[in-house]
Amino acid sequence: MIRLDKCLCHLGYGTRKDVKKIIRAKEVTINGVICNKEDMKFDEINDVLVVQGIEVRYQEFVYIMLNKPKDVISATEDQMHTTVLDCIGDVTKGLFPVGRLDIDTVGLCLITNDGKLSHSLLSPKKHVDKKYYVEISTPLTIEHIRLLEDGITIDGDELCKPAKVNIIDDHRLELTISEGKYHQIKRMMIACDSEVTYLKRLTIGPLTLDDRLEEGDWRYCTDEEVELLRQ
């Protein structure tokens, strides 16, 4: 059982004050009966909750896949820039991005309120793979590819873990890394005498960016995707 106002706040309908207004306006029903008390409790699993004419389901944790656009930062709030939470509108209560993408990097951004899962995906001990599509200014040599696959040194003294390299053509490749160093792929390409001109994240562990999502679009992760992330 859960309090109605707590449930609606969790679902992103605003503050307790906002939720109270919605309830007092008779815009909430449970099993077809209009609710008029914000402190009433209901069975969030079996009861049917309708808010402003739309049936909604309570979920303790939310998992969102966003195709992050350029010029958007991986933060919960910022006075100067658009954030990934701005991209998903009102469904932001308690949510945060898992890890970071640079402001000029696009692609897969996982947004959730599940701190345990986030910690698991970001833990250095887990070595969770992340695959990127990369466009570069100068082709890589065979020696550069060998260095990337063996573990390249960036900035003279910082050793990266071995990466997986899939060359598409002279100026395009897919690169899979298991770390999250600051500007890592850009620094790896500089160490290979090249420069990143475009960078897009494709995967986080078993989660793959839905190619139907345009930049700036998002959707909820499926139950199957969430289960894979938890494994």
Mean pLDDT of 82-106: 88
Residue type, position 33, single letter: V
What pLDDT is stored for residue 93 in this prediction? 67
Q: Which pLDDT band holds residue 83 (cuts at 50, 70, 90)?
A: very high
The whole-model pTM stands at 0.80
Closest residue by Cα to residue 55 from 44, 63, 40, 66 = 44
- CA dist., res. 225 & res. 88, Å (int): 19
Q: What is the pLDDT of residues 23-39, one digit of tens each?
A: 999 999 999 999 988 88
Closest residue by Cα to residue 192 from 152, 150, 135 = 152
- CA dist., res. 111 & res. 97, Å (int): 4
Q: Identify whether residues 42 and 148 lie together within a single domain.
A: no
Q: Give catalytic residues, as residue numbers.
A: 102
Q: What is the pLDDT of residues 126-138, one digit of tens each?
A: 899 999 999 999 9
The count of domains in the chain is 3
What pLDDT is stored for residue 91 in this prediction? 61
Domain of 141, in residue numbers: 130-204
What pLDDT is stored for residue 170 in this prediction? 98
Give me the chain's average pLDDT, please.
Answer: 92
Q: Identify whether residues 171 and 75 lie together within a single domain.
A: no
Q: Identify whether residues 36 and 69 lie together within a single domain.
A: no
